[in-house]
């Protein structure tokens, strides 16, 4: 069970993990340049997968924390 004392820390870590995942996938996408847009390039697959995980893992609290971090 998630205790109140660890809740904020876990929420912060989830936001940080999401930011890291986004940064790494975006870096791969940029490094591959135009190739990364091709359906057979792994960069587009990893970018789509990373963004799917960011959305799939969102709870209302995580979404609010992510939006606050972006503001």
Q: How much is the pLDDT for 58?
A: 83
CA distance 67 to 71: 6
Measuring CA to CA, how many Å separate 24 from each of 1, 4, 6, 59? 31, 31, 27, 22
**What is the reported pLDDT for 64?**
92
**Domain parsing of the chain, residue ranges:** 4-70
Q: What is the reported pLDDT for 1?
A: 57
pLDDT in tens, 19-56: 898 888 888 878 887 776 777 877 788 888 888 888 88
Task: Output the CA angle 61-17-31, nearest 5 degrees.
Answer: 130
Contact 64, 11 (CB under 8 A): no
Alpha-carbon span 61 to 17, nearest angstrom = 15
Q: pLDDT tens digit string along 3-26?
A: 777 888 888 998 898 889 888 888
């Amino acid at each position: 069970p998630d205790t109140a004392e660890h809740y904020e820390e876990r929420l912060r870590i989830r936001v940080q993990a999401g930011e890291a995942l986004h940064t790494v996938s975006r870096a791969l996408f940029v490094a591959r340049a135009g190739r990364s847009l091709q359906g057979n390039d792994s960069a587009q697959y990893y970018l789509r997968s990373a963004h799917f995980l960011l959305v799939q893992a969102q709870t209302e609290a995580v979404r609010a924390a992510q939006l606050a971090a972006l503001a």
